[in-house]
Amino acid sequence: MDGTEESDKDGGLDADTDGDRLRDGDEDADSDGSVDATETDPNIPDTDGDGIDDFEERASGSDPRDIASANDCQVFVDEFETR
């Protein structure tokens, strides 16, 4: 609760617990409280720990559950390899 998040009248599944801009209800799609094969962790902004948050991975088409997928993320590769 740092005051920067948008107020959410229905709370619960519309909250963004980990602050990665994906709502809890989008990350835990079936709302069972566990991270299933196609879901990302609503409590961890970077589910696979590759340094790119789940929102960025989904937006760029890489796999938010596969730490190796960051290597295929052209958006970030381009940023660091422009010389």
Contact between 46 and Ca ion per CB under 5 A: yes
In the numeric block, the tokens 């740092």 are attached to 2
List the structure tokens of 27.
Answer: 């990350």
String of contacts with Ca ion for each residue 15-44, x by CB under 5 A: -x-x-x-x-----x-x-x---x--x-----
On whether the CB atoms of residues 34 and 41 are closer than 8 A, the answer is no
Instruction: Please report how close the Cβ of residue 19 comes to Ca ion at its closest, in angstroms.
Output: 7
In the numeric block, the tokens 């960025």 are attached to 56
In the numeric block, the tokens 């660091």 are attached to 80
Contact between 56 and Ca ion per CB under 5 A: no
39: left (phi over 0), alpha (psi -120 to 50) or beta: beta
Instruction: Please report how close the Cβ of residue 35 comes to Ca ion at its closest, in angstroms.
Output: 6
Interacting residues with Ca ion (CB under 5 A):
16, 18, 20, 22, 28, 30, 32, 36, 39, 46, 48, 50, 52, 57, 69-70
